[in-house]
Structure 1
Amino acid sequence: MPKSSGLKSGSEFKQQSLKSHVRRDVVHNRTLGAVFIGISVVLFGIRYLTAAIITINSQVYIHFDEALQDVGKAPVILSIISLAIGLYHVYGSVFVQWYKKDLNRIESNWKELDESGSEGRNP
């Protein structure tokens, strides 16, 4: 039996490269999702912080609810959009990974059926 030199064949290297590429993409998507969720949290907090600053710095007594209305809904809307994008990137990568595993399993089962089904048939 010949000793292996430790070098991988082209197909083995390609398969390993694709697997590491998929893992890297999942990590990047999760990181990007976490960044967007963090942006969402900051935007949501900015609304209340700004309302508190408006309440403190006003010459006339203003209720906190009125200060929140003065700030507007833009930070909340942007926060919801950022949260949706973040959740999509965090959980979307997980679903894509499951989907790829299922497709690979289906493909291998299909090949097994083709190989076993063709033995008894004559063209």
Structure 2
Amino acid sequence: MNKPKRNVFAERLLSLVFVCKGIWHLLRSEHSIIIQTIIGVAVTLAGFWFQISPVEWMIQTLAIGLVLGVEAMNTAVEKMADFIHPEYHKKIGIIKDISAAAVGFVAISAVVVSLIIYLPKIL
């Protein structure tokens, strides 16, 4: 029996459509993602201004991506928790708090990365 041929390129293209839809939804509806995107753009512009090294670019880009990615996951966890249990529940609150803490850890790390990169250039 012959299996139908998979069009891997079309599947990857469809995945990109879902990625774009998710990003668009986040940017339209999530205040924290908008703020973090603005901060990411500002830090990127600072990178051009201060002519940071290729290694600094890699670390900065990773830090920005991690903050935005973890914030997106936090949003997904919160929306799923609200869908599963719309009324307040102590355990759902703990789940949301832990998810928010993950964002906090990554955001603090990103600030430290920025300080390590930019403080020597400013002082």
Q: What TM-score comes out, normalization by structure 1 length?
A: 0.45
Q: TM-score, normalised by structure 2?
A: 0.45
By relative contact order (CA 8 Å, sep 6+), the higher-ranking structure is 1
